[in-house]
Amino acid sequence: MMRSLYSGVAGLKTHQTKMDVIGNNIANVNTVGFKASSVVFKDVLYQTTEAATASSDTSGGTKAKQIGLGTGVATVSVSQTSGSAQSTNNPYDLMINGSSFFVVSRGGVNYFTKVGAFNTDDAGNLVTGSGDFVMGWQVDPDDPTQIKRDTVSKLRPEAVENQSASPEMTSKTYMSGNIVQTDARLAEGVPTTVSIYDNLGYSYTVKFNITQSTTDPSAYELSVESIKDENNVDIIHDSADGKTKALYECSLSAKTIKFDKDSGAFVGMDGQDGVLSTALKITPKDGSKTGNVFQDSTQDPPVESIEVDCSSLHMYASKGGECNVETHRGSTQSAALGAGRKVGKLTDVSIDTQGKIYGVYDNGVNKLLGQIAVANFVNPAGLEAVGGNLYKETKASGEFDGIGMTIGAAGETMTQGVLEMSNVDLSQEFTEMIVTQRGFQANSRIITVSDTLIEELVNLKR
């Protein structure tokens, strides 16, 4: 009689535990990155009233007679299915498309999370909403285009050193267009201008003049009329009143642009076939300025002058009868074209599908700032939840090696600007709630019926 009472109590306790888990799931239906849990029941001890016997010549074998003593919780398992994606347009919000975990550090201890709701602190560190450092790998100091995989460390995408991108001196310009022999302006000079940068990122405007050769109608002389700084001061000529002296002087390695007189096609500089350009060299005048900001030994190869490519010029007739010549730098997106660039200011951050963080600067530079590492466990369900959307490793989950892995190595990707939502299925939870409620009611009936039987037994003595 008493066994059924305690079986009923055990049933109530296990169903209450299941109800607690269901309640927690429903409460976290909108918690970012939350993983739903489920309860698995098990039967518990059995009381054997009669042992099993083997068959003999005189009688057959009998099975054991066992009476169960209720139920208990076998395990509370965590579902590892991915939740749906919610777009946030925050550049530091990330979602892992797979089973890997972000690695974060709190108090020097590594924890793991599926929640990629990150931001930066006042020191430029990438952190979680609770201030935990997001861990990853740094840029290789010997090759700034590569990542050095080592023990994970905190990422600092918006640190002071990443707020700006280095300038680069202009090393190549392009002169293009049409020179018309009948243009009267060629006697005095047809102007064309181009902006250039020195190696400190300061901008200058170079004004070229193209004049007709006095000896050859198919040749034209190229000269530099002025080079003005950002304050419109000519740095290669003294001021009109003589108060400001020029600090620089310039020279062109080749000054004559030669065309084929019959076809009008470009031939070369100084009449040499295949010589496509001339070198503009700007140097300090009379030692008046220490150093030469129009040379850059840090570039590869080092830049000592600015190449002016004239191969896109031609000498054709024109309906308007005027020359149309333009000079421009190469694409600012490619340093290889020699365009040069000003000092860049960090304007945005981009994170690719492999977790690499790039700084986007207003001078056209995209600079690698680090890479987010992930952890992948043999048994992610074995991780122990510690609250705050964090997990820690256990013997059941497997160990974290301190280095982590690239998300691509796990066959997964990251998505920027979205968060993984809770994977709680409300329809499933409410169905489980109904089943649990009925199970609880049934177990309570066991207790009330057992109590009635005991009451009848007691009443036998009346």
pLDDT digits (tens, 9 = 90+) for 328-371: 987 544 444 788 889 999 999 999 999 999 999 998 889 999 99
What are the tokens at 128? 């979680």
Highest-pLDDT range among 54-68, 280-294, 324-338, 439-453: 439-453
What are the tokens at 210? 């193209």
**Residue ranges of E strands in 285-441:** 306-314, 324-329, 344-351, 356-361, 366-372, 374-375, 384-387, 390-392, 413-416, 418-420
| CA distances, 148 to each of 138, 139, 140, 274 (Å) | 6, 6, 5, 44
Average pLDDT over residues 136-158: 94
Report pLDDT for 436.
93
Highest-pLDDT range among 38-52, 185-199, 447-461: 185-199
Give start and end residues of each alpha helix (H) in 28-167.
none
Encode 46-65: b = buried (16+ Cβ within 10 Å), e = exposed.
Answer: eeeeeeeeeeeeeeeeeeee
- Top pLDDT among 178 and 32 is at 178
Share the mean pLDDT of the chain: 89
CB 14 within 8 A of CB 72: yes
Q: How far apart are CA 461 and CA 376, in angstroms?
A: 69
CB 259 within 8 A of CB 249: no
| CA distances, 450 to each of 6, 340, 406, 456, 457 (Å) | 10, 90, 61, 10, 11
Q: Biggest alpha carbon distance in the chain?
A: 144
Q: What percent of the chain is modeled with pLDDT above 70?
A: 95
Q: How far apart are CA 427 and CA 383, in angstroms?
A: 26
Report pLDDT for 428.
92
Q: Give the confidence band of 288 by pLDDT, cuts at 50, 70, 90.
A: low
- The one-letter amino acid code at 98 reads G
3-state class of 448 per DSSP? helix
What are the tokens at 314? 């031609």
What are the tokens at 287? 């030692």
Which one, of 226, 233, 234, 231, lies nearest residue 189 by Cα? 226
| CA distances, 203 to each of 163, 168, 228, 293 (Å) | 20, 11, 9, 11
Average pLDDT over residues 56-85: 80
CB atoms within 10 A of CB 181: 18
How many residues make up the chain in this entry?
462
Global confidence as pTM: 0.75
Q: Give the confidence band of 375 by pLDDT, cuts at 50, 70, 90.
A: very high
What are the tokens at 369? 């700032």
CB 333 within 8 A of CB 341: no
Which one, of 279, 284, 294, lies nearest residue 200 by Cα? 294
Listed range (47-51, 81-85, 114-118, 222-226) with the worst mean pLDDT: 47-51
3-state class of 326 per DSSP? strand
Q: How far apart are CA 190 and CA 212, in angstroms?
A: 9
Report pLDDT for 8.
84
Average pLDDT over residues 231-245: 87
3-state class of 194 per DSSP? strand
Report pLDDT for 336.
47
The DSSP call for residue 382 is G
Q: How far apart are CA 418 and CA 91, in angstroms?
A: 9
Give pLDDT tens digits for 150-164: 999 999 999 999 999
3-state class of 220 per DSSP? strand
Angle at 219 between CA 218 and CA 224, to 5 degrees: 150
Give pLDDT tens digits for 29-54: 988 888 888 998 988 866 666 777 77
Place of tokens 């177990």: 443
> 442 pairs with which residues across the strands?
none
Whether omega before 284 lies within 30 degrees of 0, making that bond cis, reads: no
Angle at 21 between CA 20 and CA 22, to 5 degrees: 90
- The one-letter amino acid code at 290 reads T
**Residue ranges of E strands in 32-146:** 37-43, 46-50, 65-68, 71-78, 85-87, 93-97, 101-106, 109-113, 116-120, 126-128, 133-139
Which one, of 3, 1, 9, lies nearest residue 443 by Cα? 9
| CA neighbours closer than 13 Å in the CB half-sphere of residue 232 | 0
Report pLDDT for 189.
94
